Structure 1
């Protein structure tokens, strides 16, 4: 989408508590993927994860704080402007959000819940959530899995279901959003202690890949939209050697043509390239490359490039991807203190 004023835009979330400037706007070069910072807007604490409305007119951000909130911004030619005060989500530490069915959905890590906040016709947020779905359960990891920790929520490719990934309970939940209510359809158990963090769907709509934070792996699953069921098939490591104690995978994306999957791993500070085989049912580790910074929190693919938000080194790096091998080659970087994610307008 071309923003008013010419050229494409990227929006970058950051942690203000760690020195981030809020929501940053960057211009995207017409070729090569180079980013140039053109402005920022603050006023919302820790807008770490962002999502655009389908028409690109609004930008939404979690406020990843103990109180937990979501904020709406109106997109103009060069930046984004806050469109009203943040709305509480009734849960703590929201880490992810998506737009679906006239609502903004948030995954609340701290409280282990998912919230649906209704949208007004003009894209602004209604003053209160319509639904809060609490997760329950725990996992074997003594420190990280004492209770539920919802880390991601998104619609499935068919638009029928809401899928939430819970690191604390080693499970994925499938829900229906009906009249503003989130209704649990089924819960799918993954390997105990794996710590699932994020899920991405293959373009074929019948496979999904879950990146696991506590065991550096990706779980390959079969997805059946007709029945709303997810079936784990296999688990593939994202590192060739035994991981260090602080190796925590974070982001995962799949190529638009479905041939490759990429992940980012914090601590090791690498991007992993996985080839998709057997019509999506199998992944094979091709190799890893340095992420260009420290503590890569999120990974985005756009127009032939991978973009990495490196939280602790305070930058966003980008890589051109070789179309045949899937291997990334570094293109450049911009400084964004406490960078957390990148979305493209």
Structure 2
């Protein structure tokens, strides 16, 4: 049996999920047997889930409560809390675990916080080791001790413009142990040191809204934008400074202001990227060209769900979480080109926002 955990919105965020859900596929019978089997662990709006790299431990962002919590597997279809929920920030929406399993980074859309936690030997979370947003607020509003050695970003626009608001939305661990974070509100990809202090920023065009990122095997970082329906490609120079190398529309027929890309996923061979367009409820595929620095639109297909918030590449298919349709669809991928094809199967699931392959 192949198992998946699902994150979702609960009653505090106008959703129907009662906690972390459980999906499974019958061994040897294919993706058409995908079914929602019930609640694996009660939790309030666990909108994002992340897996420990070596332990059977899952981390949940409890978005409405602004907290994060660790869960350990207790059976084939169940999880149990591993320690208490810890404070993160307003509308915590994304979690990333370091490859060595010693650190978790939470991104908070509501207040722009990026918070890091230590991870104990058993996978439990340790109180935050840094909260750069708190230190930044101290720097701006008058606590000199807390503000020491804090990099202060430009929080506003040009003279006469309304100040923009920081909206941290995701993080990716880079091979050199630095961390890239996407700030949807400030149109920045921030390159941070291990302590979360800012090494440097990569500025994207204003109003693009960088949301989620994928690190390509070539070393390039691909970034999907929620507002401009694009995928930007970043690369690092010999001195370790990142910059923009290309930009590609997510789909040639995407409608800015109507379509809002969500997740960005990559095929196992790295040749194809997939993003889902909330609005038209479609899935767009992009072909990776050259040495990873160039993308081009490949195909567009129906997602089979309403408001496709997250998707996962698995076993020649794409699993798509439909937040507003309370369902998960299975889309066949062309074996030769990687292009999305027909919707093979759909199963009910309560307000899904994340699909995670279980260990």
Q: TM-score, length-normalised on structure 1?
A: 0.89
Partner of 1:263: 275
> What is the CA-CA distance between 1:276 and the residue it aligns to?
1.2
Output the CA distance in 2 between the equivalents of 1:93 and 1:144: 22
**Contact 2:305–2:329 (CA<8 Å) still a contact in 1?**
yes
Partner of 2:139: none
Matched, 1:62 2:79: no
Total equivalences in the alignment: 329
Partner of 1:311: 323
> What is the CA-CA distance between 1:103 and the residue it aligns to?
1.9
Partner of 1:27: 24
**Contact 1:21–1:41 (CA<8 Å) still a contact in 2?**
no
Aligned residue among 280, 285, 295 for 2:292:
280
Report the RMSD for the aligned CA atoms in angstroms: 2.2
Distance change in 2, residues 1:36/1:189 (3 Å): same
Partner of 1:343: 356
Q: Which runs of 4+ in 1 moved over 4 A?
A: 142-145
Partner of 1:112: 112
Aligned residue among 169, 174, 177 for 2:186:
169
Matched, 1:253 2:265: yes
Once the two structures are superposed, what CA deviation does each residue of 1:175-214 show, in whole Å capped at 9, x if it has no partner? 121xxx322211111111111001101122x212110001
Q: Rg larger in 1 or in 2?
A: 2
Aligned residue among 62, 68, 71 for 2:69:
71
Distance change in 2, residues 1:80/1:42 (3 Å): closer
Once the two structures are superposed, what CA deviation does each residue of 1:246-281 show, in whole Å capped at 9, x if it has no partner? 211111112121211111110111100111112211
Partner of 1:160: 177
Output the CA distance in 2 between the equivalents of 1:212 and 1:138: 20
Aligned residue among 193, 199, 204 for 1:185:
199
Q: 210-219 or 22-31, which moves further after superposition?
A: 22-31
Output the CA distance in 2 between the equivalents of 1:192 and 1:244: 14
Partner of 2:146: none
Aligned residue among 94, 97, 108 for 2:95:
97
Q: 50-59 or 22-31, which moves further after superposition?
A: 22-31
Q: Which stretches in structure 2 are left out of the alignment for 5+ residues?
A: 137-152
Partner of 1:302: 314
> What is the CA-CA distance between 1:83 and the residue it aligns to?
1.9
> What is the CA-CA distance between 1:29 and the residue it aligns to?
3.3
SS of 1:48's partner is strand
SS of 1:130's partner is strand
